[in-house]
Structure 1
C-alpha cells in the first residue's frame, strides 16, 4: 500500500461572513490561526482513495461533487466543523455553497490531493483505539461522563510518517462573540500533536460523530489558552495510545487489491416534531432569572434550535459512504450524527471500524430515535424524522458487509 499526504492553506479575508453561530455580531476581523485543507491518499496499484479535511463549517453536496472532480479519484471531503471559519452555506437540510468558497475550497482540495499523490510511498498502517477523558461530553446533559472514543491511524515508512486522528467532539471552544478566524479545537490538536511527534510528522484531525458531543461542560474558558489546554489533553492521550499496542491494517509491500468503497443514496423523511416557541421563551427567561449559567445556556440553545429549522422541512437526500483500506473499515456520514450512531456502526467484532461525520453533504443533525423524546437543541434543529439516523447506520453496516 502506498500512502501520501498533502496540505494547503485556506486564506479568509477580513470582512468574511462566518459560519456556525446565529448571533455572530459581525464578519471576520482578523486571524487567530490559519485554516487549511489536507488530503490523504491510498493507492494499491489498482485503485486510489482520497480523504480530504477542510477547516470549514460544513460540506454541501455541490462542493463534494466539485471537489471529487478536482481530485480525479474517489474522494471524501470532510468538514472539521469549526465555528470560526467562513460561512459555506451550512443550513439544516443542506443548500448551495456560496461563492467564493465553492471555487476556493475546490481549488484547495485539488492542490492538496495532487501533493498527496506526488508524495505517495510504500507505508504500513496501524490503528490505535482508546478513550479520551475531560474534553467532550453530551452537551445536553451537564452531568454526563466526559468520556469519548479516540481513534488514530498511524502511517509508518520505517519511522512514523503521520497520524490521522478521529475526534468525535464539536470543535467549539471559541464563543459566538469571536470574530477571529480559527480552526478552533481541531487546530489546537494539530499544533499540540506536532510538538509531541515532531514537525516532520504530518497530522490530520477529522471530526467524528459529534452531533451531541461538545466541550460545553468540560471547557474552563473560551479563549486561546483554553484551546491550548484542551488540545494538549488530546495530544497527550494520542501519544499514550501510540506508545501502546495497535492493530496492523496493511503492509507496505503487499500486492493485490487493498482498497474498495461503496455509496448508497437514501431519502430521509422530514420531521414532524414541533415545539411551543412561547413556552421555550418563558423557559429561557426563567432560567436566566435563576442565575445558573448552565441551565440558562441549555434553555437558550433550545430557542436557537427551533429558530434554526427551516419553515417547511422537506425530504432530504443523503449519501452514505463506506470504504475498506486494508484491514480498516471506514464510514463517512453526512451531517452531524450523534455519537451513538457511530457506535452502532463500529460495533463489528474482528474489524476496526472508524466513523467520520460531516462528509459529502449536510442534512443537519441526525439524532437517535430516542433523542426525539426530549426537546433539546439538536432535535429542534433537525430536519429529519426519527429513525433516520438508524437507517443511515444500518445502511453503512450493510454496505461494509457487502464490500
Structure 2
C-alpha cells in the first residue's frame, strides 16, 4: 500500500493598480484599485512512485509560454515532470491580462515575470511542506449559474439566460487531511463564469470564487482551492452586478462546499498517483476568401480611424485595434492559400486514487463535455476542469455550431484567427475517454 505525502502553499499574486484587466472588451481604463487580493495556491502529492502538483490561480487564463516556463523550471529544479503539473485558472473577469486576447487588455511583462516566479515558488513551498496525508472525495448539489445561450425572438442566439439549457448543478470536492485528521486543503470545482461584477468593474477581484474560498478557509482552517469547471456556456446568475451579489453567490457555493468537505472520510488506502498529458490537434475552419478578408481589413481600419476621430476611450480603441489585427491576420492566411490547419489542445488526467481522477482541458469548454465525460468515465469520481494549462478559446459542442452565437461566431477573433471545426467535439471526447480508460486499465495490471 502506497504511503501518501502532501503539501500545500498559497502566494499572493495581486497585480498593481494601473494594470490592464481582461475578460471584458471596452473597459474605459486600467484597474483603479484592489477590492480583494488574488492568490495562487498549490497542492502537491507524493506516493513514492509519482509526484504531482496542482496549481489554482485567481486569473482569467494563462498564455502557453507561462505554462511552459513554469513546468520547465519545476521539472528542472524539483524533478516533477511537466505531465504531472496542472495549472488551472478560475477565469475571473476582474483580474490582470495574463492571456493574450485581442483588444481585451495588454499583458504587463513585468507582472507576468513576477507571476511566473511566484508560481514556481508556490510549487517549491508546497513540496517543502509535505507530510503524511490522507485524501477523500465528495459531491454536493448546488447551482449558482445559468446556461447563457438564449434564443431571441428574432431567431438569433445571444448571451442571456436559458433556464432550460444544460448546467452542472453540483460541486465536486477533494479534501486532503494530515495524519491527525486536520484538513490541509479543500479543492473544489463548480462550473459558472465568474462575471458577477461585469465589464464596468475596474477593481481587481477574484469574483465569487474568492468569497467561496475565503469562507471555506475560515471554517475549515485550511487552504481552499477553486478550479473552474466547463462553464463555456454557463454564466453566474446574476451578471454585471455588485460585490454583494458576488459575496452572496460565493457564500452559497462555499457553504455547500463545506457541507461536502465535512462529510468526506479521508484515507490513504487506495492512493495510486499517476499523471498523463496529451496535446491533440483539432481541425480549424478554413480562412475566408481573399476578397472577403481584404474587404474586412478596409472596414476594420475605417472603424478604428473613426473611433480615434470621435475620441473614444482607450478600451474602445484597443478593441478596434484588436479587430483590425484579426482581419489582417485572416487576410494573410487567405492570401497564403493554406487550408486544413489545426490547433493544439492539451488534455491532462491526474489519477489520485483507484476511484478518483482529475481531468483538465485547455479551453472555454461547454458544460455538456463535463456532464458527458463525468457520466462515461470509468472512475467513481471524475473532477473536470476547464481553463487548465492554457486556453485556446471556446470549445462548443458540435450541435452549437448551426445555432451560432458569440461563442461560435465571434469569440475566436479575440483568441486567434480561425474557429475550430465542429468535428473537434468528437475528437476531444474520444481522446479524453481513451486517456481515462487507459489509466484505469493500467491501475489494474
The normalised TM-score by structure 1 is: 0.83
Match of 1:233 in 2: 252
Aligned length in residues = 362
Match of 2:188 in 1: 165
Match of 1:366 in 2: 395
Paired residues of 1:34 and 1:181 also in contact (CA < 8 A) = yes
Of 416, 431, 440, the match for 1:395: 431
Superimposed CA distance per residue, residues 199-228 of structure 1 (whole angstroms, 9 cap, x where no aligned partner): x3110011111111111xx22861111111
Paired residues of 1:60 and 1:97 also in contact (CA < 8 A) = no
Give, in angstroms, the shift of residue 187 of structure 1: 0.8
Instruction: Name the stretch that deviates more: 152-161 or 38-47.
Output: 152-161
Superimposed CA distance per residue, residues 65-116 of structure 1 (whole angstroms, 9 cap, x where no aligned partner): 1111232323111121111111123338xxx965124422211111111111
Of 153, 165, 175, the match for 1:154: 175
Distance 1:33 1:387 in 2: 41
Match of 1:385 in 2: 421
Unaligned runs of 5+ in 1: 277-302
SS at match of 1:355: strand
2:142 aligned with 1:132? yes
Distance 1:239 1:15 in 2: 36
Of 2, 11, 14, the match for 2:5: 2
Distance 2:56 2:325 in 1: 26
Of 39, 48, 52, the match for 2:51: 48
Report the structure number with the largest CA radius of gyration. Answer: 2
Unaligned runs of 5+ in 2: 151-160, 293-318, 334-340, 413-418, 440-445
2:107 aligned with 1:84? no
Give, in angstroms, the shift of residue 23 of structure 1: 1.4
Distance 1:271 1:220 in 2: 31
Distance change (3 Å), C-alpha of 1:349 and 1:317: closer
Instruction: Name the stretch that deviates more: 235-244 or 13-22.
Output: 235-244
2:279 aligned with 1:260? no
Distance 1:80 1:101 in 2: 18
Give, in angstroms, the shift of residue 359 of structure 1: 1.0
Match of 2:225 in 1: 204
Distance change (3 Å), C-alpha of 1:309 and 1:188: farther
Distance change (3 Å), C-alpha of 1:361 and 1:24: same
Paired residues of 1:267 and 1:315 also in contact (CA < 8 A) = yes
Match of 2:346 in 1: 319
Give, in angstroms, the shift of residue 34 of structure 1: 0.5
Paired residues of 2:200 and 2:240 also in contact (CA < 8 A) = no
Give, in angstroms, the shift of residue 308 of structure 1: 11
Distance 2:245 2:421 in 1: 37
Match of 1:345 in 2: 373
Paired residues of 1:154 and 1:164 also in contact (CA < 8 A) = yes
Paired residues of 2:15 and 2:111 also in contact (CA < 8 A) = no
SS at match of 2:95: coil
SS at match of 2:73: helix
Distance 1:101 1:346 in 2: 36
Superimposed CA distance per residue, residues 171-203 of structure 1 (whole angstroms, 9 cap, x where no aligned partner): 111121111111112111112222332xx3110
Give, in angstroms, the shift of residue 350 of structure 1: 4.7
Give, in angstroms, the shift of residue 130 of structure 1: 2.5
Match of 1:117 in 2: 127
Distance change (3 Å), C-alpha of 1:110 and 1:88: same
What are the residue-to-residue correspondences of 1:213-362 with 2, within 5 Å? Answer: 213-215=234-236, 218-219=237-238, 222-244=241-263, 246=264, 251=268, 258-271=272-285, 310-311=326-327, 312=330, 315-327=342-354, 328-347=356-375, 348-362=377-391
When the two chains are superposed, the root-mean-square deviation of aligned CA atoms in Å is 2.7
Distance 1:109 1:189 in 2: 22
SS at match of 1:266: strand
